[in-house]
A and B are shown apart, each in its own frame.
Chain A
């Protein structure tokens, strides 16, 4: 299943509400996860089952969506959120999106 993320690069200011999109090539039944990867580090799970927040992740992160269209929202961007964000579908095997690089404006 192809996963398409947009935009590929996003510039935002501290305090902004940020929205990242992920579109699946077919219905993935909410089997969608979001990961954050900071430079030089392993990915970190943020959201699973489309909208469930992983333990220990700040509440400014949230996930939504259904069917083929999903969104990761950061309610108030912090400097430490600078990273690349990947979505992953696990409805049928595993595929990742190409990522959205989030930088500070």
Chain B
């Protein structure tokens, strides 16, 4: 059974950093592109970043470029999102998802950016 389990969320002050993790199981992690998608409270879905199966290519939405870094450790079947210079508008539930068409999602982890 495919499972994606996010961790690392919480309350953080504006300008600070946070690193999210997503532990994958039930499939060959190194075969798949992976992504982060977020959802602000009571809002719609917003793609954040994607990383290729081997980590060689990364893609970001404009609003997070230069602040967020997506990475992966295929030996540990884990996806990461390093978030620096956080802003209030980054407040959201962050989901990790498999592939470009997001066929499996984690349960999500809440990130609140507030002073």
* Interface set of A (CB-CB < 8 Å, partner B): 33, 35, 37, 42-45, 48-49, 54, 86, 88, 90, 93-99
B interface residues, tally (CB under 8 Å): 18
B26 within 8 A of partner (CB) = no
Inter-subunit contact B107/A42 (CB<8 Å): yes
Residues in A with CB closer than 8 Å to B32 are none
Inter-subunit contact B106/A42 (CB<8 Å): yes
- Annotate B30-73 by CB proximity to A: 1 below 8 A, 0 otherwise: 00000100000000111100100000000101000000000000
Add 10 more A-B contacts to A42-B106, A94-B50 (CB < 8 A): A37-B45, A45-B102, A45-B104, A88-B101, A93-B47, A95-B47, A96-B44, A96-B45, A96-B47, A97-B44
Inter-subunit contact A43/B45 (CB<8 Å): yes
Q: How far is the CA of A98 from the CA of B44 in the complex (A)?
A: 5
Q: Which of B101, B106, B108 is in CB contact (< 8 Å) with A45?
A: B101
